[in-house]
Structure 1
């Protein structure tokens, strides 16, 4: 779909709606009284309409790590999330999916909204709200079989409003070798940036089993420019896996200690580790 075409909306039963425009494809879900659900979905639709046009107008700035403050509301969310992780190299684009999800959820949750639960899924990066039963999410899935590797249980009092996943097999390029890193945080924009940086940290620099290329050679407009990104990961030894996951775990622990995130799950070559009481894996519970 051309960026110049109009945003599209598809309503489904059960308080669900799909919104698409260019590369943005989100699923919006609302739970509660019928009237509250209908109004919340329409607010999300209205909030969605200008997003791609506004972001496209500021792309050069959003692909740079520094510069003047962005103008659009979603762009400002992106910049604010990236700024919290300074001095690490990261551009606002690391928060784009999460920021879009946060923006649409905020549109749904106006004062007196009446919803019991709501979530906006933007390609796996999710903004969520619950004041009823906890939300149960399958996370950190196997990138080949798509089997879930862990489960997150998010309650109303957990202070978690966003979940995001990153890895070298994902939609965006990664500088690390994690198959998947899922992060739970205050909002989806924060989770999005943190997942990107933790996935970058799960790495084995100069390892012969890891193939890399310059990001700009794979995508000329990449915000990573000439930095090397992972294109393939060969067989790894148990020690390799432990070393790479250990580096990512250390960064995730720092982010938890500083309050940037609440929990994380890291996966590499069939091994997963969990940090935070909201996440449970088959191999390790509540690490």
Structure 2
């Protein structure tokens, strides 16, 4: 298994090595950008072997003392350490931490904007005066091949400017490649770093939950044999639920998101479940969503934007 890279038609690089799959774009001085791409590639080829060398410790529950040595592994542990009173392993921040490590190669004068997208978890570089927009798809189960071929239609956008304390975006939920103990279709988090966003999205998605016998759950290792969650039960199917249950689940998740926001662990969170959403409102971050009453903080749950 060797690292490989491909230049994509939309002026992006695709780096892939085992489970790590990055799409990278940078803008600015052409020479500096090209040099940064080469530096990123050299660094990328070493990341997977570093993580594999410490995999047992990274899959263990996070404790009071950091026992890992690598810079990416330590970043993973640091992002997850605030949640160590609950069950969490450093793997909850792996995608964001890897994206953040590669982005460091682009955080230089002469590069206006850069982003590293690791399966939906994104690290950003924004020079002063720059901004970025991140599309939100609230329910990946609604996507079909035709949409993917013709261009993705997003439900809304999150607008991030260089003045915001946000350089990381991550999404978690019970669908897709994530494993979650909750029922959120998606929880998208903006945070200071990609690793922090990754860990916080995991925690908030777990909190979007209700007990209902019709919700199907099973031990994580039965869903994916290499899961770091072991015998913990994760969600594998959620039927259509009554609106009251959806609202309760979203309110529980939103309370958790507000707790993390108060601790400085996230800046913004958007939670979606079965066509309804809740947000920790930051008006400057929102775009393409309904305006007015539905987005007032005190009206915490509403219909998902179309």
Question: Contact 2:59–2:89 (CA<8 Å) still a contact in 1?
Answer: yes
- The offset of 1:260, in angstroms, is 0.7
**Alpha-carbon deviation of 1:13?**
5.7
Deviation at 1:95, TM superposition (A): 0.3
Is 1:95 aligned to residue 103 of structure 2?
Answer: no
| 1:141 equivalent in structure 2 | 138
Mapped contact 1:137–1:151 kept (Cα < 8 A): yes
Structure 2 spans left out of the alignment, 5+ residues: 144-152, 298-306
| Larger helix fraction of residues | 2
**Aligned partners of 1:257 and 1:247: how far apart in 2?**
16
118-127 or 10-19, larger mean C-alpha shift: 10-19
Sort the Cα spacing of 1:136 and 1:285 in 2 relative to 1 into closer, same or farther, 3 A. farther
Is 1:178 paired with 2:184?
Answer: yes
| Residues 125-134 or 114-123, more deviating | 125-134
Aligned residues: 280
State the TM-score, normalized to the length of structure 2.
Answer: 0.87
Please point out which of 262, 279, 282 is paired with 2:290: 282
How far did residue 66 of structure 1 move? 3.5
Tell me how far apart the structure 2 counterparts of residues 199 and 82 of structure 1 sit (CA, whole Å).
Answer: 15
Q: Secondary structure at the match of 1:184?
A: strand
Corresponding position: 1:32 with 2:25: no
Query: How far does residue 124 in structure 1 lie from its aligned partner after superposition?
Result: 0.4
2:218 maps to 1:210: no
Distance 2:220 2:231 in 1: 6
Deviation at 1:170, TM superposition (A): 2.2
Unaligned stretches of 5+ residues in structure 1: none
Cα RMSD after superposing both structures? 1.7
| Residue 167 (structure 1) shift | 0.5
Q: TM-score under structure 1 normalisation?
A: 0.92
Judge conservation of contact 2:141–2:175 (CA < 8 Å) in 1.
Answer: no
Q: CA deviation at 1:57?
A: 1.2
Q: Which of the numbers 70, 73, 82 marks the counterpart of 2:71? A: 73
**How far, CA to CA, are the matches of 2:265 and 2:281 in structure 1?**
13
